[in-house]
Amino acid sequence: MYQINALNPKEEGHQARKRFGQNFLHDQRVIAKIVRSVNPRPGENIVEIGPGLAALTSPLIGECDALTVIELDRDLAAGLPGRVPYPERLTIIEADALKYDYTELFQDERPLRVVGNLPYNISTPLLFHLIQFGAKVKDMHFMLQKEVVDRITASPNSKEYGRLSVMIQYYCKPTFLFEVPPGSFNPPPKVTSAVFRLEPYAVKPIIANNEKALARLVSHVFTQRRKTLRNSLKGMLAEDAFEKVGIDPMARPETLSMAQFVALSDQVVN
């Protein structure tokens, strides 16, 4: 079992701050399971987002020779060196992970491995921000509310399948790993969480002619998911677009595969 330095934020003199979306992980079994999933090794370029009270930072830093953490809360950042077993291995960056330029952490032949218990209130924009740097990222292991992870990993013809599924899966291979109950946190959130892995594609299996057009089309059809594709995309595609790509214009967006969305986006005319 890993030795965790900080199990209770109140004992550490820190009150969880709602504006930062803070819920501190304290369940040692869950922490150990996350570390096993990440499987950190010396020499790797590992970055943790939102280390908080170092519950995950401590076991991670014990398995690698260097760890960079990004923490927005200045009080938490200041206390981190005293909460980890090897503070000399720790690099602390006080910054907003949602705005941070991760190119500053790139190193030759050492792709980033990103880990984090993400603040639920910024999780989706943060994922899309991180994906921009995917060419230099080996993998990402995150914990989010389970309903969001279900959407990220969803397949066509399911109620969870939507914009988040399509756009994340265009850039990355997602893998659902395991659930985490509310009682594993202090304070406990009102939802069940889940840990998942994202592996950015070095070469995307399917490439759109215009990725902005793909994002716009996917967002548009899923805001009108009860409409048929013909009605939803009226005016966006050439007249013969559906015939060209072999897609039923009466279909609804949740039935389309990634390849079909890309094919349709290549027919966008405005």
At 3, is the pLDDT very low, low, confident or very high (cuts 50, 70, 90)?
very low
Q: Is pLDDT larger for residue 270 or for residue 57? A: 57
pLDDT of residue 22: 54
Q: Whole-angstrom Cα distance, residue 56 to residue 216? A: 37
Number of neighbouring beta carbons within 10 Å of residue 248: 13
What mean pLDDT is predicted for residues 216-242?
A: 93
Least-confidence region, from 146-150, 197-201, 234-238: 234-238
pLDDT above 70: residue 17: no
pLDDT tens readout for residues 168-186: 999 999 999 999 999 999 8
User: Does the bond joining 187 to the residue before it have cis omega, within 30 degrees of 0?
Assistant: yes
pLDDT tens readout for residues 231-255: 999 989 988 999 999 999 999 999 9
Q: Is pLDDT larger for residue 19 or for residue 117? A: 117
Sign of CA dihedral 129, 134, 140, 146: positive
Strand partners, 216: none
What mean pLDDT is predicted for residues 96-106?
A: 95
pLDDT above 60: residue 129: yes
pLDDT above 60: residue 209: yes
pLDDT of residue 20: 41
Nearest to 264 by CA among 203, 223, 220, 227: 220
Q: How far is CA 33 from CA 143, 162, 175, 229, 242, in A?
A: 12, 29, 15, 43, 46
At 7, is the pLDDT very low, low, confident or very high (cuts 50, 70, 90)?
very low
Q: Quick one: what percent of the chain has pLDDT higher than 70? A: 91
Rounded to the nearest integer, the mean pLDDT of the chain is: 90
pLDDT tens readout for residues 20-31: 445 778 899 999
pLDDT tens readout for residues 37-81: 999 999 999 999 999 889 999 999 999 999 999 999 999 999 999
What mean pLDDT is predicted for residues 75-100?
A: 96
Q: Could you give the domains of the chain?
A: 18-200 (3.40.50.150), 211-265 (1.10.8.100)
| CA angle in degrees (0–180, nearest 5) for 261-262-265 | 85
Is residue 119 helix, strand or coil? coil
Nearest to 166 by CA among 204, 140, 111: 204
